[in-house]
Structure 1
Amino acid sequence: MFKQLKIIFSTNWFWAIAVFLISFFVYILTLAPTVSIDDSGELISAAANFGVPHPSGYPLWTTLGHVFSYLPFGAVAWRINLMSAFFSALTVSMVYLLVAEILKNWFITSVISAFLLSSPPRIVVRGKLQRGSRGITKSAGIPAHAGMTNKYFLKSIAFSASLTFAFINLFWNSSVVAEVYSLNVFFVSLIIYLLLLWQEKKENKYLLWSVFLFGLSLTNHQMIALMAPGFLIFVFLVDKKILKNPDLILKSLCFFVLGLALYLYLPLASHFKPAIDWGHPHTWQNFWAHISRAQYSDFASGFNWLSKLRFSGAFVLTLVRELYFVPCVLAVLGIWLSFKKNYKIGWLLFFAFLGNNVLIIFLRNAPYGLTNDYLYEFYYLPSFLIMIIWLAIAAAFLWQKVVFRFLKNILILKILILIFILIWPAYLLVKNYGKNDQSDFWLVNDYTHAMLQNIETNAILVHYGWGSMANDTEIFSLVYALTVEKIRPDIYLLTDLDLWPEEKFTIDKEYLAMSQEERRKKILTFGLAMAKSENRPLYTDFSVISDLLPEKVVSRSLGNVYKIFPSLAEMRQYKIDYFQLPALRNLDDERLRNNLSASDLISRYYYRLATYYLEQNQKYLTNNYLQKAIVYDRDADSRYLKDFMIKRTEWQGK
């Protein structure tokens, strides 16, 4: 029995399952119970309704999310959040297998591990392998169990490396909310692993699987396309005659297209008019615009060296912040070793690393700023994975150097090393647990419900967010409440996102060419006309000031939204019965100050409260909430602050 257990414990699959269970358990403990910030609400809504989310559509993620939505426990949002935790935990397992595979091939053949596969153990005499009994051979001076010690230590490095990746801040953060990043990193790790197996076993089935999964992964997140140069270079380095094998090339193309075929989900889903139908990709023109992300102009002309350099500097700082300085330095040693041990794998890892930082920074046309820097951080996750692999390679190299020097104290050394390799992921677990524990995160949920509760029946709610960080969070949480939770289905949410199957507001080239101010005027004008023709109350999520429209409409804050009146006189006649404004949980959570999306959302909420108390003539509360709004407002040129100041001047002058 003990022998069988020893065999089980010695397998890589046992430890891969172990790190999966450990990380998955931690992720479940810290999983968000409902919608969170950024794209969470929209992605969950699209998955739950078999719909179409924002470009490029993410059909694989949406399909898998729909499957998870059928879990028989938890709220719909929690179930789909669980999908991120699941694939992140699978990624952690893949990191273990990747590191174990590389270390096995590179370090198990060293002198110290010459005993590894022998039974009874082998010994080394004058540089030659010989059979021998257990113990220490005087001529060699090396204990016969040293090879086994090396084997288990290499597994320990892989174990530590995988859990280190599991608990770095950014990866953990993406693992407890509904987002596409965890599935993307999973595919990166799986494809690299299959390519390594293809090189080792010389069986083309591994190459074909990797090609298929690469095509399939593009239907989740197109950023993985930037790894294609590294994958292709590796394939040509391993098999220089592959171009003379048309049969294999044709099969590879077929498998690649087969993976890409999941994009056909988009026109099919759009044809049935789901609750979320962003861009309506049931026509060829709309389909191409959607999968090519035309509305974002990712690769538009224009190149700013200063902006690129600032992004590059921010990436390095993020890398050091997540992994710390000394591990980053050791990873540089790992880069050198990867080329020295196997230059083919060295190039594969190197280009995989560059594809997820340098290529992203220099190919995408985005100006540097806090918002884009925040968004880019999650694109870098595959680069962190590669850094962990390099760090593990360096650790294995240093281990063998240390073993040869302190071989006589092998027992003490094993204990010390064991403590060292376990303490690092444990340290990250403790340090980052509080930052990423979203198990009691209800802010977005409460914020959304508070907005909806004060709106009259059959009303129109006009949303316009100025492109601020809170914009996505607010609109997408409203979408989730309306389409998944079915709260207030009588309300029509008027946006400029083109996400409803029967969109009433037309977004054309003329609109896209407008300034932010002009867009807000146009959508508000449309909302006024719609409310008038359909005899419906009109609300907005922004304060309406006098110079916004030629029509002298005015708004009044209800604490969470603004009600629109055709005249000041009618607004003054409107009686606001005193009510207790709903309390939002997590408002005082200090962690949220450092999150751009959350802090912007809280700032917007406080601006609305300041306006509400201004119109109630409660000066103290007005100033109190205004100060809070400014503290959380990270925008140096805040439109919301400007609107409030204009509103206050107008109100005090009336």
Structure 2
Amino acid sequence: MDLDRPLLQRTTAAATGAAAFALYLATLAPTVALIDSGELTFAASLLDIPHPPGTPLYVLVGYLFSLLPWETPAFRLNLMSAFFAALAAGAAFLLATRTLSPPLPPDRQGARKKRGPTAAPAGTVPAAATAAALVAGLTFASSGTLWSYATVAEVYTLNTALLGLALFFFLGAPGSHSAWDLRLALLFFGMALAVHHVSALFLVPGALYLIWKRRAGASSLKELVFLLPGLATYLYLPIRASQKPLLNWGDPSTLERFFWHVSGKQYRSNFTPDLDTLLSRGWFFLKLTANEFTLVGIILVLLGLFLLWSKSRQLFVFIAVTVSCNWLYALVYDIAEDNEAYLLPSFLLFVIALAWGLRHVFEAAWLRGKSVIIPVWGLLSLLPVLSVVTLYEENNHRHYFVARDYGLNVLENLQPKALLLTMDWQLYSPLLYLQHVEQYRNDVLSVDVNLLRRSWYVAYLKRQYPGLMQAADDETDIYLKQLELFEHGRPFSPNVIQQAFVNLINRLVEITFSRKDPVYATVDRSEEPAVAQDYFRVPIGPLFRLYDSRPAQPLGPGRLRTDSFTNGLLELDPVMRRVRKNYALMCVNQSIYLKSYGRETEAAEWRQRGLRLDPEVEAMIPRNGAD
């Protein structure tokens, strides 16, 4: 079995991808997920513009997947993630094969075939290299981070697949007999840049590696034109923005706003040099890396890095520099969710080291005969199986209804033509999908209070709810003038802009009440104490309904579907647990509210329900429910 044979490589890569796809399909989320899943599915399904940097290639490819005839648009975009994660697994196998078995001169190929298995020096046992690459590829496929993003709609699996293909061709480019290795590497890399900015971390290490290997870089400059097809997809953003789509995040229709959006201007404040944060994130990433490939896998990765240092110094330096850049970026970029995904490029490169470590052990066993070959090869080949067994419950999203249930819990408790104010992205993102893609409860006027701090979102509200926004023209104009100062970096008064912000929201509430329509909020008073501060809040399901005064009689508690948290079919991640805590807090708020009317028995039941959901909630009871 010779790893250099293209047919064998392609067949094994396809088998690796197929096995990975079967795993992902078996654990695929059936509907919309939390974090950005709802927003991305919405943007891809309607060809709109999502959050920075706009991920134009993801949107365009996602739109094609949204046209599939199966299930719901959310399921189709989840399926897209599974497909590209499987492609990434196949690419990881190919990447490992390229680094393990570079092409040999013709005169050495025949000589190698004549060698007996026990006479083979290190690095020349084809079966060992094949097995090592296969195990490494399957281990990457079943690693926690890639697997978790393979089951929900997100950009990371597409980005990882493109990076894997780019690296496969790139590592064959120096000294290659085919100029197309570098060209294809640049083509796939340009496409990766059109999906996620983390891909840019390969630019400097990649250029240095090429120069080092070729001793010159000028001959490669003309090949940079192959970056353009991928980068050209960014033209989608200003073209589509000029058509005023429903979701027009950042409104990149002008050169200035295009640059803001593509460069992620609104997220620059997330870069932090705070030492405590850096140490905390560093420890988190170390634990994540240790858990990614299991303990045995990490030992083999370390062994592989040592072997790379000894036998392929240039490749080792490329990996070390790229991983260092990746880690530095992930450390200083402080975000609430998706932290693990930012290390996927490093994990992809660690596949190379894992394969080198595996090959070394496989060849050492080969030299000792069948009595050692069979148990060693057999046990190490089970590494992906160990990963699947260890991580299956954590990544099994077949019963992932948390996000959809959250959205339905809110929408089903709202009266017709209700105004909903929220600061919870874990709610608003699924609502974008449910209301705009599935067209459920379009009568509800949903407003994300946090997004209202951006001018593009004010424009979205004007298009979506023209009647409401026209009635608040004066407050809107005053606020937009202050917002323009803020967005363009001109001198502004924080107090003035905050007051204009609050005045606009309160005006929207007043207008809705004047029309005899209901107002609801998930906004905690501690988050925005001046918003709707004069209204009495009654807990209804997972949110509050606002009243002019305290109702004479207690109102019904509403519906609160909590099956996703109580049926034991889904292992909860930290974001899911935050949603569960919200539910528990609202149960306790309902208890406080009912108790204020003397309904002691019902109050006790709701309190116990909240404590069953999250026992820690008793120490976090907010006193803003019914007061």
> What TM-score, normalized to structure 2?
0.85
Matches of 1:629 and 1:143, distance apart in 2:
61
> Could you tell me which of 302, 313, 331 is aligned with 1:332?
302
> Could you tell me which of 99, 118, 127 is aligned with 1:152?
127
Assess, with a 3 A threshold, how the Cα gap between structure 1 residues 269 and 528 changes in structure 2: closer, same or farther.
Answer: same
Matches of 1:521 and 1:422, distance apart in 2:
61
Give yes or no for contact 2:14–2:90 (8 Å, CA) kept in 1.
Answer: yes
Matches of 1:200 and 1:424, distance apart in 2:
34
- The aligned length equals 591
Partner AA of 1:461 in structure 2? L
Q: Secondary structure at the match of 1:502?
A: helix
Residue 489 (str. 1) matches residue 461 (str. 2): no
Q: How does 1:406-485 map to 2 (within 5 A)?
A: 406=368, 410-464=369-423, 471-485=424-438
Residue 375 (str. 1) matches residue 333 (str. 2): no
Please report how far the alpha carbon of residue 52 of structure 1 lies from its aligned counterpart in structure 2 after TM superposition: 0.7
**Larger deviation, residues 10-19 vs 330-339:** 330-339
Matches of 1:517 and 1:595, distance apart in 2:
34
Residue 627 (str. 1) matches residue 611 (str. 2): yes
Partner AA of 1:375 in structure 2? D
Q: Secondary structure at the match of 2:520?
A: strand
Matches of 1:200 and 1:633, distance apart in 2:
62
Assess, with a 3 A threshold, how the Cα gap between structure 1 residues 427 and 445 changes in structure 2: closer, same or farther.
Answer: same
Assess, with a 3 A threshold, how the Cα gap between structure 1 residues 179 and 522 changes in structure 2: closer, same or farther.
Answer: farther
Alignment match, 1:559: 541
Q: How does 1:258-269 map to 2 (within 5 A)?
A: 258-269=229-240
Q: How does 1:244-643 map to 2 (within 5 A)?
A: 245=219, 248-252=220-224, 254-298=225-269, 303-362=273-332, 364=333, 366=334, 372=336, 375-404=338-367, 406=368, 410-464=369-423, 471-495=424-448, 496-497=450-451, 498-499=456-457, 502-504=460-462, 508=483, 513=494, 521=502, 524-532=505-513, 536-542=517-523, 548=530, 552-568=534-550, 571-572=551-552, 576=555, 581-588=559-566, 595-617=573-595, 618-628=602-612, 631=615, 641=620
Alignment match, 1:128: none
Matches of 2:379 and 2:149, distance apart in 1:
27
Partner AA of 1:596 in structure 2? P
Please report how far the alpha carbon of residue 86 of structure 1 lies from its aligned counterpart in structure 2 after TM superposition: 0.5
Please report how far the alpha carbon of residue 344 of structure 1 lies from its aligned counterpart in structure 2 after TM superposition: 2.5
Matches of 1:514 and 1:296, distance apart in 2:
22
Please report how far the alpha carbon of residue 547 of structure 1 lies from its aligned counterpart in structure 2 after TM superposition: 6.2
**Larger deviation, residues 13-22 vs 521-530:** 521-530
Assess, with a 3 A threshold, how the Cα gap between structure 1 residues 551 and 427 changes in structure 2: closer, same or farther.
Answer: closer
Q: Secondary structure at the match of 2:538?
A: strand
Assess, with a 3 A threshold, how the Cα gap between structure 1 residues 499 and 163 changes in structure 2: closer, same or farther.
Answer: farther
Please report how far the alpha carbon of residue 521 of structure 1 lies from its aligned counterpart in structure 2 after TM superposition: 4.7
Partner AA of 2:563 in structure 1? R
Give yes or no for contact 2:326–2:345 (8 Å, CA) kept in 1.
Answer: yes
> Could you tell me which of 239, 243, 252 is aligned with 2:214?
239
Residue 208 (str. 1) matches residue 183 (str. 2): yes
Give a deviation string over 1:344-384, Cα, whole Å, max 9, x none: 2222222222222123324x3x3xxxx64x53222111211
Matches of 1:525 and 1:511, distance apart in 2:
21
Assess, with a 3 A threshold, how the Cα gap between structure 1 residues 451 and 550 changes in structure 2: closer, same or farther.
Answer: closer
Partner AA of 1:235 in structure 2? L
Partner AA of 2:210 in structure 1? V
Please report how far the alpha carbon of residue 591 of structure 1 lies from its aligned counterpart in structure 2 after TM superposition: 8.3
Give yes or no for contact 2:53–2:264 (8 Å, CA) kept in 1.
Answer: yes
> Could you tell me which of 96, 104, 109 is aligned with 2:101?
104
Give a deviation string over 1:235-254, Cα, whole Å, max 9, x none: 111222332x4xx42441x3
Q: Secondary structure at the match of 1:456?
A: coil
Partner AA of 1:572 in structure 2? A
Alignment match, 2:22: 25
Give a deviation string over 1:249-269, Cα, whole Å, max 9, x none: 2441x3334421211111222
Q: How does 1:182-197 map to 2 (within 5 A)?
A: 182-197=157-172
Please report how far the alpha carbon of residue 185 of structure 1 lies from its aligned counterpart in structure 2 after TM superposition: 1.4
Q: How does 1:19-58 map to 2 (within 5 A)?
A: 19-58=16-55
Please report how far the alpha carbon of residue 582 of structure 1 lies from its aligned counterpart in structure 2 after TM superposition: 4.5
Q: Secondary structure at the match of 1:198?
A: coil
> Could you tell me which of 193, 211, 220 is aligned with 1:218?
193
Matches of 2:497 and 2:32, distance apart in 1:
27
Gaps of 5+ in 2: 463-475, 488-493, 596-601
Please report how far the alpha carbon of residue 604 of structure 1 lies from its aligned counterpart in structure 2 after TM superposition: 0.9
Give yes or no for contact 2:187–2:229 (8 Å, CA) kept in 1.
Answer: yes
Matches of 1:359 and 1:551, distance apart in 2:
41
Q: Secondary structure at the match of 1:54?
A: coil
Matches of 1:519 and 1:314, distance apart in 2:
40
Give a deviation string over 1:92-140, Cα, whole Å, max 9, x none: 001111111211139x89xxxx997459x524xxxxxxxxxxxx7xxxx
**Larger deviation, residues 320-329 vs 438-447:** 320-329
Please report how far the alpha carbon of residue 305 of structure 1 lies from its aligned counterpart in structure 2 after TM superposition: 3.1
Please report how far the alpha carbon of residue 334 of structure 1 lies from its aligned counterpart in structure 2 after TM superposition: 1.6
Give yes or no for contact 1:607–1:626 (8 Å, CA) kept in 2.
Answer: yes
Matches of 2:501 and 2:603, distance apart in 1:
29
Partner AA of 2:86 in structure 1? A
Partner AA of 1:259 in structure 2? G
Q: Secondary structure at the match of 1:572?
A: coil
Gaps of 5+ in 1: 124-135, 137-141, 465-470
Matches of 1:168 and 1:38, distance apart in 2:
21
> What TM-score, normalized to structure 1?
0.82
Segments of 4+ moved more than 6 angstroms: 5-10, 144-149, 509-512, 514-520
Assess, with a 3 A threshold, how the Cα gap between structure 1 residues 510 and 459 changes in structure 2: closer, same or farther.
Answer: farther
Alignment match, 1:173: 148
**Larger deviation, residues 495-504 vs 553-562:** 495-504
**Larger deviation, residues 616-625 vs 23-32:** 616-625
Give a deviation string over 1:593-631, Cα, whole Å, max 9, x none: 752210111111222232234323333124224434654
Q: Secondary structure at the match of 1:11?
A: helix
Give a deviation string over 1:460-482, Cα, whole Å, max 9, x none: 11112xxxxxx322110011111
Alignment match, 1:139: none
Please report how far the alpha carbon of residue 169 of structure 1 lies from its aligned counterpart in structure 2 after TM superposition: 1.3
Alignment match, 2:82: 85
Matches of 1:516 and 1:427, distance apart in 2:
55
Give yes or no for contact 1:32–1:78 (8 Å, CA) kept in 2.
Answer: yes
Give a deviation string over 1:11-48, Cα, whole Å, max 9, x none: 11111010111100110111000011211111101100
Matches of 1:551 and 1:172, distance apart in 2:
45
Please report how far the alpha carbon of residue 184 of structure 1 lies from its aligned counterpart in structure 2 after TM superposition: 1.6
Which entry has the higher C-alpha Rg, 1 or 2?
1
Matches of 2:504 and 2:570, distance apart in 1:
31
Matches of 1:308 and 1:596, distance apart in 2:
20
> Percent identity, aligned pairs only?
23
Give yes or no for contact 1:45–1:483 (8 Å, CA) kept in 2.
Answer: yes
> Could you tell me which of 61, 66, 70 is aligned with 1:69?
66
Assess, with a 3 A threshold, how the Cα gap between structure 1 residues 453 and 306 changes in structure 2: closer, same or farther.
Answer: closer
Please report how far the alpha carbon of residue 576 of structure 1 lies from its aligned counterpart in structure 2 after TM superposition: 3.4
**Larger deviation, residues 511-520 vs 26-35:** 511-520
Root-mean-square deviation (Å): 3.4
